[in-house]
Amino acid sequence: MKIGFVGLGAMGQAMVANLLAAGHPVQVWNRSPEPVREMTEQGATAAADLAEIFTCDVVLSALSDDDAVTRLLLDEDLLAGAPAGAVHVNTATISSELAARAHQRYAELGLRYVAAPVLGNSEVARAGNLTVLVAGEAEAITVVQPLIDVIGRRTWTIGDEPARANLLKIMVNYLIACSIGAMAEATTVTEAADLDPKLLIDIVSEHLFTGVVFPNYGRLIGAREYEPVAFKLALGHKDVNLALDSGQAHGVPLPLGGVLRDAFIDAMAHGQSEQHWVAVTEAVRRRAGLARE
């Protein structure tokens, strides 16, 4: 089975490294050359162009947003060169609408599309501990399951409609964003009252909100540490917008989402797009007159 991989950001590189370590031959393509060079040093093969990737039996991708997926993976000429029955596994967080459109277009061309958005940041990806939400044709999932088992520790099979997996992923990220926003506000009040924000996070992480989000993101918020960046603030803004779009599509108001979106816009307007998405905390602190100079 020929395996291609498109998109070598931090997440993509981690997934490719794990596939290579598991003995799978992988051909890679990326818009910028440096990540390709790094992956070839680990044993991957560089594709001459994107069209060569689409001659593979299975193509996995880890791109940033709807625009990148549409431009790079729904190109008619590229899809025309794919072998009959080829499977595309899209690990990106994209809109449900695009997932449905991609699924339909692939089916029309005799190709198979599997949505496999992942839960976890680049550190989790490097450890092979991603949680993968999979949806698509059952036979196609069976073909790619051994690869999914390499990049993740747990697979949730959502059904045969790829859009459903993406909707669930969007709502997961929305819940994380809401948690980040709540921690940002609570720690700012704590700080304004001359108490240690880290103490608040320690208390709730141990007794109320155990798990991943509060202990890990809360520690960064309490310490005002926004680097290194495992997930960019601009991507958090994108995901909040996807959640708002999903709510509108299903007739569900998301008033918290509107507040979050404005906070992310504030943070990006102050040059924080490339920081960790918990840096949205500074938008709250600015409103309180506590932000860094």
Active site residues: 169
Angle formed at CA 115 by CA 114 and CA 117, multiple of 5 degrees: 145
Q: Read off the tokens for 175.
A: 């819940």
Q: Which amino acid is at 155?
A: T
Angstrom distance (rounded) from CA 59 to CA 40: 17
Residue 63: count of CB within 10 angstroms of its CB: 23
CA dihedral 256, 261, 262, 267 (to 10 degrees): 130
Angstrom distance (rounded) from CA 135 to CA 148: 12
From 284, 291, 288, select the one nearest 184 (Cα to Cα): 284
Judge whether 15 and 116 are in contact, CB under 8 Å.
Answer: no
Alpha helices (H) in the chain, listed in sequence order: 10-21, 33-41, 50-53, 66-73, 76-80, 96-108, 122-126, 138-151, 162-192, 197-207, 218-223, 233-249, 255-269, 281-287
Tell me whether strands 118-119 and 130-135 are parallel, antiparallel or unpaired: antiparallel
- Sole residue written with tokens 């044993």: 43
How many CA atoms are closer than 13 Å to the CA of 293, on its beta-carbon side? Answer: 0
State whether residue 226 is helix, strand or coil. coil
